[in-house]
Amino acid sequence: MIGIVYSVNDPAGAGAAAKLVRLGFKIAECRAVECWSRPGVTVAGFDEDVIEFDFLDDALPEAEYFIVLSRHSSQAGVKSYTVHHTGNFGGEALYGGRPGELGMANPVVAFGLLRELVKRAEMKGRLGEYRVSYEATHHGPTSLKKPLTFVEIGSSLTEWVDEVNQEILAESVASLLESGPVGCRPAIGIGGGHYPWKHTEYSLRENVCFGHLLPKYAIEYLSAEVLERMIKRTYGSVKLIVVEKKSTRLEHRMMIESFATSRGLEVVYI
């Protein structure tokens, strides 16, 4: 079973969920405030904020993985449709999860959602106005055993309540549920900004799907131990590390290449 989850207090997530459940779902019972289901899929809304969803393994124990429908906030006010995984690279956890802990990433699902968002945004005339992108790994929850992927509308209330945006999110998820995850090459990424556009372009062009993405602003936490954690907390077999070269110094690249060589991984610079 696939768990599609959201906060009932989030206008973007709740709005997208309301549109999704019109597509063949029936009211059901589960350990949530709101619940709908159809064979193989449960849609559930909770009171808690999405960054505090560390209880999902217990609330929906039959789920193989989770997709979180959510709002995205940005001080820059960037209009966006984004996908990302969760985690805290450093010693603080200001926005949920635990310090130094990474959630279980689901690169194939994230890639499928990214492609669908591009397709739906183009169909509805939003592709130029809105950015479609991966985001760097950030915030909670981080302690779930099952893979979890966020798909979001950014970046203000105006965009969150926009029904076309909610439809784009709902239809992207619905299409992924119908077709199943697409084939791609799992990878982790290093460098870039919070919206790592070079990694996003590389992903769509080369059929590479990213699990965890460590951005330039968190490069101080880069180590062999963190690379190992990024790989272990990415679902599937990761054999590739994609590095934005200008985000890293020589010592970073030497460490990454040494780590990759010792584990039989490929390194690609973009």
Tell me the pLDDT of the chain averaged across its residues.
97
Cα–Cα distance measured from residue 110 to residue 118, given in angstroms and rounded to the nearest whole number: 12
The two three-digit tokens of residue 53, written as one number = 């969803």
What domains can you pick out in the chain, each with its CATH number? 2-179 (3.40.630.50), 185-269 (3.40.50.10700)
Which candidate, 33, 29, 55, 42, places its Cα nearest to that of 3?
42
The two three-digit tokens of residue 128, written as one number = 């130029």
For residue range 110-164, list pLDDT tens digits in order.
999 999 999 999 999 999 999 999 999 999 999 999 999 999 999 999 999 999 9
208 close to 243: Cβ distance less than 8 angstroms: no
Residue 241: HSE in the Cβ half-sphere, 13 Å Cα cutoff: 27
Straight-line distance from the first to the last Cα atom of the chain, in angstroms, rounded to the nearest whole number: 37
- By three-state DSSP, how is residue 247 classified? helix
Residue 59 vs residues 11, 54, 225: alpha-carbon distances, Å: 22, 10, 31
Region label for 160, one of left (φ > 0), alpha (ψ between -120 and 50) or beta (otherwise): alpha
pTM over 0.85: yes
Which candidate, 104, 100, 80, 103, places its Cα nearest to that of 90?
100
pLDDT averages per 10-residue partition of the chain, 270 residues: 98 99 96 97 98 98 98 89 98 90 98 98 96 97 98 97 98 95 94 97 98 98 98 96 97 98 98
**CB-based contacts of 195: which residues, under 8 Å, 6+ apart?**
78, 80, 82, 131, 133, 134, 135, 136
Q: Output the pLDDT for position 232.
A: 98
Q: Output the pLDDT for position 94.
A: 83
